[in-house]
């Protein structure tokens, strides 16, 4: 090709252009024949393109001509633009930096997008990672030497990759200071190894089996024609992903942040992407909406002392061996400033990169290798995880482009899923904080350690209800009484929460204080009743007063509307004590139910709350007193702690670990005398 065009007379130029239009039409017809010779058509089209460029360079040569000359030049430009747009092969016009200046209709159709989207982006962004380096080198050589070059390229089409042979040619265009490159794509075909199989019943790919290669996503369908069914299947699949996500995130009796995050990542890596990354800030991180009092600083700026650190929580990817080895390294790479997840987190603006140009978008390995290059990512999207009040993280998806780049439909689905996940995480963190407060408060209502009493052993069990995050109303205590004796008390306050905890603390400490002046359980419970009359809640309780003797313990019992105590004799015989009395805090006229008994060596007395008896299985059958007595009798000869452990195990097995109420058990056993 000449670097400077020959000058043509306007009449000759118009004639050449008219002939060119005719030949282009013939080439288009030849390309549409049943078995066209596409290589010959491509070579001919390139020749015609050179002629068109020659004519283009002559434009403006007669700048001082008459008005008729100007009209002819404008007509020439129009004709040449038409020739470029209607060429029977995909054409890309690149500047010397390989940015796309213009594409024709065939090139846009090849990529499955619009001409406006392609313009301005790096040409190599539309090539898969395996061929990008070779294409860059060939482009540089063409610009430098002017020699044509043919390169094998795999374009990242909308539905799936497309293999093509492209011809690169340097051109000079009048008015441009630097040379440009024309890229013409030759015969194309869809790789046979990337052809997707039939979609599953949901219109998407089935969940990947462990150790099996990932199945394809639902291909993007054309807007009309035979692809209509696939388009509907794609929409149904995205809706199904959202429905499945809702079930996975909400199918927990108690919200669990770790479980929710892993389920979300696994679903996305199975249904929408090759790789899924979820990054979160800590429980107290993130800011409120910018502009609100105490809110977050403007996008990209951090308020001193309140910068939330984004940490990688989970990475999910393909099940092949190479990807599995990379998972651990990827999980340890935190989202650094400037990476897409960190930017989306700071700005709270979703980002869609259908064809990525910057391979450092997701950060780099310790050796400097871009993450995108290591995982073969050519398309990335990232959305914030925000609950409306604060942004707590980001979801990032990466795909190789084997089944088309991400589109706005994918972005919309993941944005909604990010919202769902944020709400679940907020609920989980709120629940965890309340549970921690309840646990701390509950610990203050129970003795830190049981005292050592000469001649006897004491043990206790406390199990919180598995539902709810409120402090329970059960309490127990062991303390000295007036006259040198000992007292055991166990009670249950009506209800849960902070108000119940206040009554629980009052009842426990009042019993301990009253024992300084009174000896009988009935008298002590009477003083507790008087102290609780002004409270809005009642308390059931049982107290045992102990008189320690040699190889025996005298027990006096006082009951206030509470389940009776259980006595397990050393020989395995079991009896229950008398019951009676009314709950504490209801009436001024209070009388406790009273009973007395003697315990010999090996005998055990067990106090328990009604949570033991009322625990239910899946059929709503209660554990009941008979099962409690059987569990105690079966371990009558076992150490005291082992006996209570057996009761706990039997209870949890019966209700499948789902306790609807708190459970407390306090037991005392008379031990054989030891030689001094």
Band of residue 225 on the pLDDT scale cut at 50, 70, 90: very low
Band of residue 46 on the pLDDT scale cut at 50, 70, 90: low
Q: What is the pLDDT of residue 504?
A: 85
Of 3.40.50.300, 3.30.450.20, 3.40.50.150, 3.40.50.970, which CATH number belongs to 10-191? Answer: 3.30.450.20
Q: What is the pLDDT of residue 231?
A: 56
> Under 8 Å CB-to-CB from 65, ≥6 apart: which residues?
10
- Tell which residue, 453, 443, 449, 518, has the closest CA to residue 474: 443
Q: What is the pLDDT of residue 344?
A: 95
How many whole angstroms separate alpha carbon 496 and alpha carbon 561? 18
Mean pLDDT score across all residues of the chain: 79
How many whole angstroms separate alpha carbon 39 and alpha carbon 54? 23
Q: How far is CA 121 from CA 93, 353, 501, in A?
A: 12, 11, 65
Burial 77-98 (b: 16+ CB within 10 A, else e): eebbeebbeebbbbbbbbebeb
The dihedrals phi and psi of 480, each to the nearest 5 degrees, come to -75, 150
Q: Which of 1-5, 435-439, 552-556 has the lowest mean pLDDT?
A: 1-5
pLDDT, average across residues 125-152 = 86
Radius of gyration of the chain (CA): 40
Q: What is the pLDDT of residue 580?
A: 86
Q: What is the pLDDT of residue 554?
A: 94
Band of residue 644 on the pLDDT scale cut at 50, 70, 90: very high
pLDDT, average across residues 289-311 = 47
Q: What is the pLDDT of residue 184?
A: 87
* CATH hierarchy code of domain 446-670: 3.60.40.10
- Per-position DSSP letters for 209-266, written without gaps between them: PTTSPPPPPPPPPPSSGGGHHHHHHHHHHHHHHHHHHHHHHH--SS--HHHHHHHHHH
Per the listing, tokens 């800011």 go with 287
Structure tokens at 390: 């604060």
Q: Which of 4-8, 47-51, 233-237, 671-675 has the lowest mean pLDDT?
A: 4-8
How many whole angstroms separate alpha carbon 426 and alpha carbon 266? 20
Share of the chain above pLDDT 70, in %: 71
Q: How far is CA 431 from CA 29, 392, 410, 442, 502, in A?
A: 70, 16, 31, 16, 21
Q: What is the pLDDT of residue 15?
A: 61
SS3 654: helix
- Tell which residue, 593, 521, 531, 537, has the closest CA to residue 562: 593
Query: pLDDT tens digits for 352-363?
Result: 999 888 899 999
Q: What is the pLDDT of residue 383?
A: 94
In terms of pLDDT, which residue wins out, 453 or 78? Answer: 453
How many whole angstroms separate alpha carbon 455 and alpha carbon 637? 17
- Per-position DSSP letters for 598-635, written without gaps between them: EEETT-EEEEE-HHHHH-B-TT--B-HHHHHHHHHHHT
**In this model, does residue 518 exceed pLDDT 80?**
yes
**In this model, does residue 324 exceed pLDDT 60?**
yes
How many whole angstroms separate alpha carbon 403 and alpha carbon 382? 18
Rounded to the nearest 10 degrees, what angle do helices 257-271 and 228-250 cross at? 170
Which alpha helices (DSSP H) does 102-146 contain, by range?
A: 105-111, 115-118, 129-145
How many whole angstroms separate alpha carbon 158 and alpha carbon 220? 7
Band of residue 212 on the pLDDT scale cut at 50, 70, 90: very low
Share of the chain above pLDDT 90, in %: 32
Could you tell me if 362 and 341 are in contact, meaning their C-beta atoms sit under 8 angstroms apart?
A: yes
pLDDT, average across residues 460-467 = 84
Q: Which of 144-148, 150-154, 223-227, 514-518 has the lowest mean pLDDT?
A: 223-227
Q: What is the pLDDT of residue 495?
A: 78
Band of residue 248 on the pLDDT scale cut at 50, 70, 90: low
How many whole angstroms separate alpha carbon 521 and alpha carbon 580? 13
> Under 8 Å CB-to-CB from 205, ≥6 apart: which residues?
199, 214, 215, 216, 217, 218, 270, 271
Q: What is the pLDDT of residue 564?
A: 95
pLDDT, average across residues 378-407 = 88
SS3 543: strand
Band of residue 35 on the pLDDT scale cut at 50, 70, 90: low
Rounded to 5°, the CA angle 392-439-423 comes to 25
In terms of pLDDT, which residue wins out, 429 or 643? Answer: 643
pLDDT, average across residues 608-613 = 94
**In this model, does residue 144 exceed pLDDT 90?**
no
- Tell which residue, 475, 477, 531, 469, has the closest CA to residue 498: 469
Domains 225-301+308-434 and 446-670 share a fold: no
In terms of pLDDT, which residue wins out, 86 or 616? Answer: 616
**In this model, does residue 34 exceed pLDDT 80?**
no
Q: What is the pLDDT of residue 489?
A: 95
In terms of pLDDT, which residue wins out, 64 or 329? Answer: 329
Max Cα distance, the chain (Å): 133
Band of residue 424 on the pLDDT scale cut at 50, 70, 90: confident
Q: What is the pLDDT of residue 640?
A: 95
End-to-end CA distance of the chain: 115
Structure tokens at 352: 């869609």
What percent helix, strand, coil does the chain show, rounded to 5?
40, 20, 40
Rounded to the nearest 10 degrees, what angle do helices 408-445 and 228-250 cross at? 10
Q: What is the pLDDT of residue 157?
A: 84
SS3 577: coil
Could you tell me if 30 and 87 are in contact, meaning their C-beta atoms sit under 8 angstroms apart?
A: no
Q: What is the pLDDT of residue 453?
A: 92
pLDDT, average across residues 257-285 = 84
Q: What is the pLDDT of residue 88?
A: 80
Query: What strands, in cross-sheet order, belong to the sheet with 474-480?
Result: 474-480, 486-493, 539-549, 552-560, 593-600
**In this model, does residue 400 exceed pLDDT 80?**
yes
Rounded to the nearest 10 degrees, what angle do helices 67-86 and 38-58 cross at? 160
Query: pLDDT tens digits for 466-485?
Result: 765 566 778 899 999 988 89
pLDDT, average across residues 149-166 = 87
Q: Which CATH superfamily is domain 225-301+308-434 in?
A: GAF domain (3.30.450.40)
Conformation bin of residue 294: beta by default, left when phi > 0, alpha when psi is -120 to 50? left
Every domain of the chain and the residues it spans: 10-191, 225-301+308-434, 446-670
Q: Which of 104-108, 224-228, 326-330, 339-343 has the lowest mean pLDDT?
A: 224-228
How many whole angstroms separate alpha carbon 623 and alpha carbon 630? 11
């Amino acid at each position: 090709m000449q670097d400077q065009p020959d000058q043509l007379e306007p009449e000759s130029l118009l004639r050449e252009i008219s002939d060119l239009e005719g030949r282009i039409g013939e080439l288009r017809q030849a390309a549409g024949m049943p078995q066209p010779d596409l290589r010959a058509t491509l070579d001919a089209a390139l020749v015609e393109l050179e002629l068109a460029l020659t004519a283009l360079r002559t434009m403006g040569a007669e700048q001082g001509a008459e008005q008729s000359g100007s009209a002819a030049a404008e007509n020439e430009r129009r004709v040449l633009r038409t020739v470029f747009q209607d060429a029977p092969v995909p054409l890309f016009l690149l500047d010397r930096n390989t940015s796309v200046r213009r594409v024709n209709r065939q090139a846009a159709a090849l990529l499955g997008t619009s001409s406006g989207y392609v313009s301005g982006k790096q040409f190599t962004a539309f090539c898969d990672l395996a061929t990008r380096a070779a294409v860059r080198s060939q482009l540089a050589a063409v610009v430098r030497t002017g020699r044509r070059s043919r390169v094998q390229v795999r374009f990242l089409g909308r539905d799936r990759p497309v293999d093509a042979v492209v011809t690169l040619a340097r051109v000079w265009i009048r008015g441009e200071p630097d040379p440009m490159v024309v890229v013409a794509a030759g015969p194309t075909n869809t790789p046979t190894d990337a052809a997707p199989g039939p979609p599953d019943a949901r219109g998407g790919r089935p969940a990947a089996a462990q150790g099996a290669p990932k199945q394809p996503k639902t291909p993007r369908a054309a807007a009309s024609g035979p692809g209509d069914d696939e388009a509907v299947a794609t929409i149904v699949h995205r809706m199904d992903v959202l429905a499945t996500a809702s079930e996975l995130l909400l199918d927990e009796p108690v919200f669990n942040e770790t479980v929710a995050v892993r389920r979300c990542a696994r679903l996305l890596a199975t249904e929408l992407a090759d790789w899924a990354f979820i990054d979160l800030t800590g429980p107290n991180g993130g800011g409120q909406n910018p502009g609100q009092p105490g809110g977050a600083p403007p996008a990209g700026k951090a308020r001193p002392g309140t910068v939330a650190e984004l940490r990688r929580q989970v990475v999910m990817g393909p099940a092949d061996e190479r990807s599995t080895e990379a998972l651990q390294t990827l999980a340890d790479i935190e989202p650094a400033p400037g990476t897409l997840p960190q930017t989306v987190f700071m700005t709270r603006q979703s980002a869609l990169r259908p064809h990525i140009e910057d391979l450092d978008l997701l950060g780099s390995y310790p050796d400097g290798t871009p993450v995108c290059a290591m995982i073969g990512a050519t398309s990335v999207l990232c959305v914030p995880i925000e609950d409306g009040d604060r942004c707590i993280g980001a979801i990032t998806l990466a795909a190789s482009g084997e089944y088309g780049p991400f589109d706005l439909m994918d972005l919309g689905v993941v944005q909604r899923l990010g919202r769902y996940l944020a709400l679940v995480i907020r609920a989980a963190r709120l629940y965890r904080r309340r549970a921690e407060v309840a646990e701390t408060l509950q610990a203050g209502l129970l003795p830190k350690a049981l005292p050592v009493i000469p001649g006897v052993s004491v043990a206790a069990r406390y199990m919180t209800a598995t539902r709810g995050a409120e402090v329970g109303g059960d309490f127990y205590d062991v303390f000295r009484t007036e006259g040198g004796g000992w007292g055991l008390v166990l009670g249950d306050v009506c209800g849960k929460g902070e108000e119940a905890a206040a009554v629980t603390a009052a009842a426990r400490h009042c019993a301990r204080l009253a024992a300084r002046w009174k000896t009988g359980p009935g008298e002590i419970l009477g003083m507790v009743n008087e102290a609780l009359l002004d409270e809005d809640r009642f308390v059931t309780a049982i107290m045992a007063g102990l008189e320690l003797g040699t190889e025996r313990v005298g027990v006096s019992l006082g009951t206030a509307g509470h389940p009776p105590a259980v006595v397990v004799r050393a020989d395995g015989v079991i009896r229950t004590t008398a019951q009676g009395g009314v709950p504490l805090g209801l009436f001024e006229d209070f009388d406790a139910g009273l009973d007395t008994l003697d315990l010999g060596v090996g005998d055990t007395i067990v106090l328990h709350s009604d949570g033991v008896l009322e625990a239910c299985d899946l059929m709503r059958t209660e554990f009941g007193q008979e099962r409690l007595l059987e569990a105690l009798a079966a371990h009558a000869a076992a150490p005291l702690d082992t006996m209570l452990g057996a009761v706990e195990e039997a209870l949890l097995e019966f209700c499948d670990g789902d306790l609807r109420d708190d459970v407390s058990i306090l037991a005392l056993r008379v031990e054989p005398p030891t030689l001094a």
